Amino acid sequence: MTPEFILRLAIAAVLGGVIGLEREYRAKEAGFRTHFLVALGSALFMILSMYGFDSMINDTTQKLSYDPSRIASQVVPGIGFIGAGIIIFQKHVVKGLTTAAGLWVTSAIGLTCGAGMFVLAAATTVMVLMCLEALHFVSSRFATRSILLTFSSDKQENIQVVLHKMRDAGIDIDSYEMQKKTDPKGIAYQVSMEIKVKREQYQTRIMQFMEKMDGVSIQNIE
């Protein structure tokens, strides 16, 4: 049975790694290695749960209560701890939920491979990849992204021009804060604001927009 067990582990690792490559390509919180190890470990736990105690079960001198799902069932809350570490709350936005859910499904794929249900595991992997790619396609074209923008100018008039042009360009301003600072060079006005733009316009629209603003110095965009 050992060669068959190794085959199950290998298939689980490959399927988990495929999902991990997609997450790695999108620069997400958990990538290839994490998904690879989660699938591999889940498959191993399933094999251990199903076959690891055969010698004890076959021992007629002992009366044992055998539940092959006991060890495998503990994988689910275990993956929950990993998923909780991936999810973060930043800039009023929850991040990492999709990757955490992907790890959860990857663990299920690993368990399925450990049980020898390869076709079901492969079909699930395909559906996961289709879901992730479809989600990326939709979010890149229709979803919005929150950006923290910090810039400064020595004249308030320049800041007012920036604000008016942002509104004219359809850029939503969620929050706005301006501070007046004095240094040896004179008075400077520093503005911190949180804006929302479509994801597909982030690189081109914001950078090009701010570069056209005269008398304004950009400190930070994140």
Query: Residue 40 in contact with residue 66, Cβ under 8 Å?
Result: no
Contact by Cβ (8 Å): 189, 180: yes
CB atoms < 10 A from the CB of 107, how many? 28
Q: Please give the backbone phi and psi of residue 162, each rounded to the nearest 5 degrees, phi first.
A: -60, -45
Q: Which of 155, 40, 156 is nearest to 106 (CA)?
A: 40
CA distance 108 to 95: 22
Distance, CA of 178 to chain centre = 33
What are the start-end ranges of the H helices in 26-147?
A: 32-51, 54-57, 70-73, 75-86, 97-114, 118-142
Q: Residue ranges of the domains in the chain? A: 2-142, 144-221
Tell me, yes or no, if the pTM score tops 0.95: no
Q: What angle do CA 220, 216, 189 make, to 5 degrees?
A: 80
CA nearest neighbour of 19 among 131, 98, 102? 102
Q: Return the sign of the alpha-carbon dihedral for residues 99, 102, 107, 113.
A: negative
Structure token pair of residue 164: 């008016």
Superfamily of domain 144-221: ACT domain (3.30.70.260)
CA-CA distances (angstroms) from residue 186 to 50, 154, 159, 180, 214?
A: 75, 8, 17, 11, 18
pLDDT in tens, the chain (222 residues): 788 999 999 999 999 999 988 888 877 777 889 899 999 999 998 888 888 766 555 655 556 566 666 777 788 788 877 877 777 655 556 677 888 888 889 999 999 999 899 999 999 999 999 988 887 777 666 666 677 778 888 888 888 888 887 777 777 777 788 888 877 777 888 888 887 776 655 555 666 666 666 777 777 777
